[in-house]
């Protein structure tokens, strides 16, 4: 049975884990979830590293960086670490980051968070099946959490 690691934070203002869990349940895929909760996004990279050591085949990270300049830097550092872990273990980490200034109001932010967590969970399940599963949608302007942009042609 494949294992999906899910690392989330106390800092985030939405419990996106619920959405991830529900999407996995509904998919009927036979996967096991291993969860890891940390204070903030900068703690996510090492959490993933440890989840991979526990046998995870792929990870999803859930974070909500703040809107101040210092938060943008934090988010960048977190992403760099997430990138490094992927190269160390040669496995994917799908990054569900929702920036506090992405939505016009709390309601929109909540919608983006839930949709993005849902969509990237499906992407994770797809990548577990192989590197061509997402190919039919390549270059199609697909978005997670927002409306697809669609292809230019």
* H runs (alpha helix) in the chain: 16-27, 44-53, 69-89, 106-129
* Rounded Cα distance, 72 and 63, in Å: 12
Number of residues that bind its own copies (CB under 8 A): 72
Is 83 a binder of its own copies (CB under 8 A)?
yes
Is 4 a binder of its own copies (CB under 8 A)?
no
Is 147 a binder of its own copies (CB under 8 A)?
no
Among 20, 24, 59, 74, binds its own copies (CB under 8 A): 74
Instruction: Kindly identify the residues of this chain, within the stretch 5-64, that bind its own copies according to CB under 8 A.
Output: 8-17, 35-39, 42-43, 45-47, 49-50, 53, 62
* Rounded Cα distance, 134 and 98, in Å: 23
Contact indicator for 61, 82 with CB cutoff of 8 Å: yes
Is 123 a binder of its own copies (CB under 8 A)?
yes
């Amino acid at each position: 049975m494949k294992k999906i690691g899910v690392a989330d934070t106390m800092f985030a203002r939405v419990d996106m884990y619920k959405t991830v869990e529900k999407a996995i349940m509904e998919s009927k895929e036979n996967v096991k979830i291993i969860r890891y909760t940390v204070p903030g996004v900068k703690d996510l990279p090492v959490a993933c590293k440890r989840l991979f050591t526990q046998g995870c085949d792929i990870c999803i990270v859930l974070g909500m960086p703040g809107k101040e300049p210092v938060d943008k830097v934090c988010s960048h550092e977190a992403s760099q670490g997430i990138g490094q872990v992927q190269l160390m273990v040669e496995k994917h980490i799908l990054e569900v980051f929702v920036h506090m200034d992405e939505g016009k109001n709390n309601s929109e932010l909540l919608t983006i968070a839930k949709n993005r967590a849902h969509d990237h969970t499906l992407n994770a399940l797809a990548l577990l099946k192989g590197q061509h599963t997402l190919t039919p949608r390549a270059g199609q302007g697909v978005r997670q959490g927002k409306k697809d942009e669609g292809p230019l042609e």
